[in-house]
Amino acid sequence: MVELTPSFMLEYESLDKDHQHLADIVNQIIRAIDDDEAEKCEGLVGEFVKSAKDHFANEETLLVNVGYPNVKKHQDHHKGLNIKMDHMIEFAKMAGENQMARDSLRKELVFFLMDDVITADMEFKNFIEEKAKTDKA
């Protein structure tokens, strides 16, 4: 199971909610695999990919709105993840009958969420925190 500890929070409600939602779907997928219900993976991974893409769009809009200087770099980072999501969809299709696909899917998903989605966002965490403080002051 993946759990978002406080150090992984951006302290920005809409983004933290999105990340939590993605973590919830990953946990559902892990549970489906552990419970021998891997045929559920395809639908769940579809939901994960859609939610991830929606999240990336929300996040990019927010970064533009707060004037984050490296938006382009983060957008490119998100774009670079499309290929990984395509792989996950392929693994999910095979997950019902293939142990290796199940193992790969689980590994890829956890890595994707923790490293590519959440850790990568730490780059702009300070910026939006400072921004929130100055907006309040």
Where do contacts with Fe ion occur on this chain (CB under 5 A)?
A: 59, 121
Helix (H, G, I), strand (E, B) or coil at 70: coil
Cβ 134 to Fe ion shortest distance, Å: 22
| Position of minimal CB gap to Fe ion | 121
Nearer to Fe ion, 8 or 91 (CB): 8
Nearer to Fe ion, 57 or 100 (CB): 57
Cβ 107 to Fe ion shortest distance, Å: 20
DSSP states of the chain as a string? -----GGG--S-HHHHHHHHHHHHHHHHHHHHHHTT-GGGHHHHHHHHHHHHHHHHHHHHHHHHHTT-TTHHHHHHHHHHTHHHHHHHHHHHHHTTT-HHHHHHHHHHHHHIIIIIIIIHHHHHHHHHHHHHHHHH-
Cβ 74 to Fe ion shortest distance, Å: 6
Cβ 121 to Fe ion shortest distance, Å: 4
What tokens appear for 40 in the block? 């559920």
Nearer to Fe ion, 20 or 99 (CB): 20
Nearer to Fe ion, 14 or 99 (CB): 14
